[in-house]
């Protein structure tokens, strides 16, 4: 440390509490804290917190009789995690999906019956980002059944969703960005059939790509919407509106959006 005796950053106070400092650094901080009672009190609180947290969760660091069985169970079915869920569970999930679909229909039904108003076009694209965010929040949290059709049936997925959207759907390949396809589902967008594709990286971070028909048949630039850490890039390209949503850094999501745009553009040109 080259700074003078009397400058200590907050980062250094954290490093002090967490025991990440060398002995001379520690001594310097301790001397500084003696002269700064308010900060010393805060540091004391942080130390007490740390001790309480360590103690509170210490007992959980244990092996359990069921651990080996758990590993064996999942070790054998690792190729298809979805099949690990029992039929009963899947029935429950199916019932829930019907319920969720119902909730979506309810929420967006007004758009279904609303007359096509030229003034509504700006809200239509904004609602696209809202719908994309809702879909992301609902489905990205699904551990076992995030999608209806998995990536193992890609050709079927593309044909099925493409048919419902009345659009030659090609599933974007995002592997260069580290994301692989989880699968997709049919989802109401602006009160009509739309498609949601889900992608995931090796550590389980998820992204969704939403496609919906755009009755106005116009084009927009890229737009971005951000809500509580969930970012959405969206755009309309003639008859289809697109929205890419994720809880990832904006620059990464932008790359994903650009990659999707590039690949979807290839689709409509063909």
Partner 1 sequence: MSHGRDGPGSGAEAQASAPADFEASVLALMPALRRYSRSLARSDSDGEDLLQDCVERVLARRSQWRGVNLRAWAFTIMTNLYRNHHRRQTQHPEVELEDCLAAEETSADPIQGRRLERALDRLSAENRSVLMLVVIEGYRYQDVAEMLAIPIGTVMSRLSRSRRQLAEAMKEDNVISLRRPK
**Residue ranges that bind partner 1, judged by CB under 8 A:** 1, 9-12, 14-15, 18-22, 42, 45-46, 49-50, 52-64, 67-68, 70-72, 74-75, 78-79, 81, 84, 137, 140-143, 202-206, 229, 247, 249
Q: In sequence order, what are the residues at sequence separation of 6 or more whose Cβ sits closer than 8 angstroms to the Cβ of residue 174? A: 180, 181, 199, 207, 256, 259, 260
Cα 39 to chain center, whole Å? Answer: 37
Minimum separation from the CB atom of position 74 to partner 1 (A): 5
**Side-chain half-sphere of 219: how many Cα atoms within 13 Å?**
4
For residues 50 and 109, which CB has a smaller minimum distance to partner 1 in the complex? 50
Minimum separation from the CB atom of position 250 to partner 1 (A): 12
Give 233-237 contacts, CB < 8 A, sequence gap 24+: 233/257, 234/125, 234/128, 234/129, 234/132, 235/261, 236/125, 236/128, 237/261, 237/264, 237/265, 237/268
**DSSP letter for each residue of 147-170:** -SEEGGGHHHHHHHHHHHHTS---
Minimum separation from the CB atom of position 92 to partner 1 (A): 15
Minimum separation from the CB atom of position 247 to partner 1 (A): 7
Q: In sequence order, what are the residues at sequence separation of 6 or more whose Cβ sits closer than 8 angstroms to the Cβ of residue 155? A: none
Q: Are 240 and 214 contacting, i.e. CB atoms less than 8 angstroms apart?
A: yes
For residues 206 and 213, which CB has a smaller minimum distance to partner 1 in the complex? 206
For residues 60 and 117, which CB has a smaller minimum distance to partner 1 in the complex? 60
Minimum separation from the CB atom of position 191 to partner 1 (A): 23
Minimum separation from the CB atom of position 51 to partner 1 (A): 9
For residues 38 and 143, which CB has a smaller minimum distance to partner 1 in the complex? 143
For residues 4 and 75, which CB has a smaller minimum distance to partner 1 in the complex? 75
Q: Quick one: how many helices (H) and strands (E) in the chain?
A: 8, 6
Residue 150 CA to residue 145 CA, distance in Å, equals 9
Strands (E), the chain: 149-150, 180-189, 192-200, 206-219, 223-227, 230-246
Minimum separation from the CB atom of position 46 to partner 1 (A): 5
Minimum separation from the CB atom of position 104 to partner 1 (A): 14
Q: How far lies 86's CA from each of 31, 90, 92, 165, 180, in Å?
A: 61, 6, 10, 32, 25
């Amino acid at each position: 440390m080259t700074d003078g005796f009397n400058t200590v950053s907050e980062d250094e106070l954290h490093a002090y509490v967490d025991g990440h400092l060398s002995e001379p650094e520690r001594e310097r901080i301790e001397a500084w804290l003696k002269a700064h009672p308010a900060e010393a009190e805060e540091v004391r609180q942080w130390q007490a917190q740390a001790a309480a947290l360590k103690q509170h969760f210490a007992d959980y660091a244990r092996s359990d009789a069921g651990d080996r069985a758990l590993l064996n169970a999942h070790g054998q079915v690792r190729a298809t995690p979805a099949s690990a869920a029992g039929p009963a569970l899947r029935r429950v999930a199916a019932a829930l999906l019907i319920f969720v679909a119902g909730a979506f229909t309810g929420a967006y039904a007004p758009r279904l019956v609303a007359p096509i108003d030229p003034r509504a076009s700006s809200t239509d694209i904004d609602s696209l980002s809202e719908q994309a965010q809702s879909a992301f929040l609902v489905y990205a949290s699904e551990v076992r059944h995030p999608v209806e059709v998995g990536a193992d049936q890609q050709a079927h997925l593309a044909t099925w969703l493409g048919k419902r959207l009345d659009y030659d759907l090609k599933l974007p390949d995002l592997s260069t960005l580290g994301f692989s396809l989880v699968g997709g589902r049919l989802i109401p967008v602006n009160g009509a059939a739309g498609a949601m594709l889900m992608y995931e990286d090796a550590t389980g971070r998820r992204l969704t790509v939403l496609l919906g028909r755009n009755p106005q048949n116009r084009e927009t630039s890229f737009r971005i919407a951000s809500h509580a850490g969930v970012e959405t890039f969206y755009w309309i390209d003639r008859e289809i509106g697109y929205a890419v949503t994720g809880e990832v850094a904006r620059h990464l999501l932008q790359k994903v959006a650009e990659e999707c745009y590039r690949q979807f553009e290839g689709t409509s040109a063909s």
